């Protein structure tokens, strides 16, 4: 590098540094808020809170219901196991296939399943009807049951009319817990990877940019207008655009500096593969039974043998 070019570059750096220190009108901003960190789990502090009428659930049942649809592997495993049980079920006069299907799905999603006994006028059993586990709450006396749905009055079942099936938990014995809780983080990671890729393409296949303005003659109205324009084109909030105004900051008045592009070396496929393995390990369902395709140089094995192992 010649001395002349070196002096020009050093001069530009000095001008920008001076502008950053001296110019009071310097402005830089971004658009996203602080990232909320995940704290301790509720189970670290208490198990099932008693509100005077019923016990609250140890984890958010609404959250488990949302997580059931977060990623295809998690949802597919839940419904596959439900379908296996449904295929083995022999309909009973008191319990229809439809009610058994809903009962099995609640069992795999929440680790709890409920049936309500409907009786005729003589007190004889008439029908076993499925009750949604998402809204069922155990009474404070541990004998009664409540149906609690947001926006509606709580309904208390008559004593002895509710059958509760639960998957035992190591922390409490009021409600059951599903077996896949250890894989929820992997399912959430897979969901985040899908959302990132979707928003990346919706944002025009770029991850934001830095707009650097070093011209001194830019007025405040123009800067405010540019800020509003950038805020309105931020791609759903998934990617950052940064505006820096440093009067007399360099030889070029306006520069657009794109962030690094997402290339074929990104970890999207690795994240999806790792999270898939975690979810399938938690559900203990062979991938070939869920329609998964093996890699180019791998195979899943005989699907019939996998089905026999699963059913037994």
pLDDT tens profile 64-77? 999 999 898 899 99
Domains and CATH numbers, the chain: 7-36+206-258 (no CATH), 47-180 (3.40.140)
CA distance 185 to 190: 9
The rounded distance, in Å, linking the Cα atoms of 114 and 163 is 6
Number of H-type helices and E-type strands within the chain: 8, 10
pLDDT digits (tens, 9 = 90+) for 257-312: 565 555 545 577 888 888 888 998 899 888 888 777 666 667 777 777 777 777 76
Q: What is the pLDDT of residue 12?
A: 45
Least confident range from 13-27, 147-161, 230-244, 261-275: namely 13-27
Q: 3-class SS at 16? A: helix
**125, 204, 196: which is closest to 160 by C-alpha?**
125
pLDDT at 294: 67
Q: What is the pTM of this model?
A: 0.70
Whole-number pLDDT of residue 67: 93
| Residue 203 near residue 238, CB atoms below 8 Å | yes
- Torsion of Cα atoms, 295 then 298 then 301 then 307, to 10°: -30
CA distances 180 to 82, 216, 232, 242, Å, are 15, 59, 40, 41
| pLDDT, tens digit, 9 for 90 and up, residues 4-61 | 554 444 444 445 556 555 555 555 555 555 555 455 554 455 478 888 999 999 999 9
Q: Give strand ranges (E) for 155-290.
A: 155-156, 162-166, 209-213, 242-245, 254-258
């Amino acid at each position: 590098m010649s001395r002349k070019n070196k002096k020009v570059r050093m001069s530009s750096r000095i001008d920008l540094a001076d502008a950053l220190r001296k110019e009071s009108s310097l402005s830089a901003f971004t658009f996203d808020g602080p990232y909320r960190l995940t704290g301790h789990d509720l189970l670290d502090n208490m198990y099932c809170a008693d509100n005077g009428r019923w016990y609250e659930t140890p984890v958010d049942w609404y959250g488990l219901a949302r997580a059931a649809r977060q990623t295809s592997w998690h949802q597919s495993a839940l419904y596959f196991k439900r379908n296996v049980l449904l295929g083995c079920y022999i309909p009973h006069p008191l319990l229809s296939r439809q009610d058994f299907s809903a009962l099995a799905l609640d069992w795999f999603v929440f680790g709890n399943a409920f049936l309500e006994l409907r009786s005729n006028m003589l007190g004889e059993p008439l029908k076993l009807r499925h009750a949604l586990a998402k809204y069922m709450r155990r009474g404070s006396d541990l004998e009664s049951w409540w149906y609690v749905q947001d926006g509606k009055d709580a309904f208390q079942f008559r004593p002895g009319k509710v059958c509760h099936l639960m998957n035992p938990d190591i922390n409490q014995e009021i409600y059951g817990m599903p077996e896949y809780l250890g894989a929820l983080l992997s399912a959430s990671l897979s969901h985040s990877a899908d959302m990132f890729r979707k928003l990346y393409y919706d944002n025009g296949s770029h991850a934001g940019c830095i707009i650097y303005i070093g011209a001194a003659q830019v007025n405040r109205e123009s800067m405010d207008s540019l800020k509003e324009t950038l805020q309105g084109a931020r791609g759903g909030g998934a990617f950052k655009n940064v505006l820096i105004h440093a009067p007399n900051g360099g030889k070029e008045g306006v520069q657009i500096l794109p962030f690094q592009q997402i290339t074929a070396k990104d970890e999207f496929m690795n994240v999806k593969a790792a999270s898939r393995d975690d979810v399938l390990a938690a559900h203990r369902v062979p991938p070939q039974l869920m329609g998964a395709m093996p890699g180019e140089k791998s195979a899943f094995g005989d699907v019939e043998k996998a089905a026999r192992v699963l059913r037994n």
